[in-house]
Amino acid sequence: MSKIFLIIIIFFGFQQINAQEFTRRDSLQGSLRPERTCFDVLRYDLNLTIEPEYKTVKGYNDITFKVIEKTQKIQLDLFENMVVDSIIFNEKKLPYKREFDAVFINFPSILPLNTEQKVRFYYSGNPLVAKRAPWDGGFVWKKDANGNPFVGVAVQGTGASLWYPVKDHQTDEPDRGASVKVAVPNGLMNVSNGKFLGNENLNNGFTRWDWEVKNPINNYNIVINIGDYVNIHEKLDNLDLDYYVLAENEAVARKHFEEVMPMMECFQQKFGTYPFVNDGYKLVETPYLGMEHQSAVAYGNKYTKGYLGSDMTGTGIGLEFDYIIIHETGHEWFGNSITSKDIADMWIHESFTTYSECVYVECQFGYEKAMAYINGQKKLIANQKPVIGQFGVNYKTGNSDMYYKGALMLNTIRHIINDDTKWWAMLKKYAETYRHKIIETKDVVAFFSKESGLNLSPVFDQYLKYKMQPELELKFNEETIDFRWKTDVENFKMPFEYKIGSKSTRLEATNTWQSAPIKLKNQADFSLEENKFLFTSNVLK
């Protein structure tokens, strides 16, 4: 285990300790209050100037929305350290009240139902600086090897309102996409989400770079990246693949990013067409490790294989590919296209994306290596808290189990189904069924139960809602073996497999003791198949 990864686990641990002390601020950010549910965001149009020398952001966001419940007041969000300069509606300033990071805006009269409205929200300030991006939210202000400003931002979990005014809740993505126009000092480039529309020299020492997003997008995925970039372009069928890298790294990037093409072919085969074809796919070099920013994936793995040159699984297989490229791109399907309604359900993002690493390994190196890779992640499971967090307070459990335990749960379900043709068809159908949708745990459980023809609810519940894995209890008799699952949930049913010599046997176990015949001369000849299912075992006397 790398030192960096140990730091991550420690940091997550601190999050777990502090996150349960919920405050009014947490509720304002995490809950769906009437001032939020009364309107549906249609589009964001950001127009900003960013000055790296002073670490400032200034400009406005045009927020277009549809009124879905009659209202005279709405809630937008902007961190309290940022300045609200004015909020304009129909060419007049609107009164507002701030409470922590919430901005409650009052209109002169009730907004009619089903009408389309727009406010222009002017703001400015010095956004929070991240101490350990991307695990804490904020800006990263650095310099490249040539002394040029190198700037990025990552705010997942912390909230997009850290740096721009927004309806800061995952349930509401702008249906019509967004535009991001950012002016930066001449000689630098800003790279944001979507397609590049062009740039304009403003004749004041700044050049504005314009980007357009056609698809709905998570608030935390809207991003800026400022640096001395060069563009490397290629195509996969009708999909634009663009890499924006620091000029000093162009040569190494051209070679290193050759991994993108086979990865994209694998993921499209297993998960369906790339979800944002009309926005294109980009890897953008950043001054922090990485992040799944939609159509502008942040890359800071220093052109190494593995995770900054290390293999977290300890199998050696993790050094066969660049972890950040594969993992963060997997999020384009799981997290960016399919989004959880509340960050308490972030396993919907992270478990499937961590499993996508295993999928890539299987595409490139085969089933046996894929099983070795994903089972290498078992030692990273903490089993200290449930995977699912607490709802309505902008809180996720923060531990690594949403990644590794969740991915191994999916591997378990694959082997419960025990039909790979069916499994791959289900996984692809899941990605396509919920494409560009916001869902909850119950939707995932219902889908896989229906498609498999099995009641998988107890399986999902045990792995996600309780901290411990299923425990298989065994008793050896002279000519039989007794077995059952010990779980927190009732009506738990899952197979297990064992080997005696080269012969493999599969048994269906429940919470009730069952017995099966067994021919066993020596108990040492008995071995459980541990690569297909995630569980612990206990041999009783």
Residue whose C-alpha is closest to residue 490's, from 463, 505, 471, 510 = 510
Q: What is the pLDDT of residues 109-130, one digit of tens each?
A: 999 999 999 999 999 999 999 9
Category of 471 on φ-ψ map: left (φ > 0), alpha (ψ -120 to 50) or beta = beta
Extract the residue ranges of the chain whose pLDDT is less than 50.
1-19
Which residues, 6+ apart, have CB-to-CB distance to 302 below 8 Å?
308, 309
Q: Residue 484, class by beta-carbon neighbours within 10 Å (0-12 exposed, 13-18 middle, 19+ buried)?
A: middle
Q: What is the pLDDT of residue 13?
A: 40
Q: Which uninterrupted H or E stretch holds 242?
A: strand 239-246
Q: What is the pLDDT of residues 271-305, one digit of tens each?
A: 999 999 999 999 999 999 999 999 999 999 999 99
Whether residue 103 contacts residue 78, with contact meaning beta carbons closer than 8 Å, is answered with yes
Q: What is the number of other CB atoms lying within 10 angstroms of the CB of residue 468?
A: 14
Whether residue 127 contacts residue 163, with contact meaning beta carbons closer than 8 Å, is answered with yes
The type of residue at 228 is: D
Q: Which CATH code of 3.30.70.260, 1.10.390.10, 3.10.180.10, 3.40.50.300 fits the domain covering 338-465?
A: 1.10.390.10
Q: What is the pLDDT of residue 372?
A: 98
Residue 106 backbone phi and psi in degrees, to 5: -105, 130
DSSP per position, 189-212: EE--SSEEEEEEE-SSSEEEEEEE
Q: What is the pLDDT of residue 18?
A: 41
Q: What is the pLDDT of residue 3?
A: 35
Q: What is the pLDDT of residue 253?
A: 98
**212-250 as b/e, with b when 16 or more CB fall inside 10 Å?**
bbbbbbbbbbbbbbbbbbbeeeeeeeebbbbbbbbeebe
Give CA–CA dist 300/3, Å, rounded. 17
Q: What is the pLDDT of residue 107?
A: 98
Q: What is the pLDDT of residue 15?
A: 39
Q: Which two tokens stand for residue 196?
A: 């590049």
3 state DSSP class of 509: strand
Q: Where are the domains of the chain?
A: 338-465, 471-540
Give CA–CA dist 288/308, Å, rounded. 11
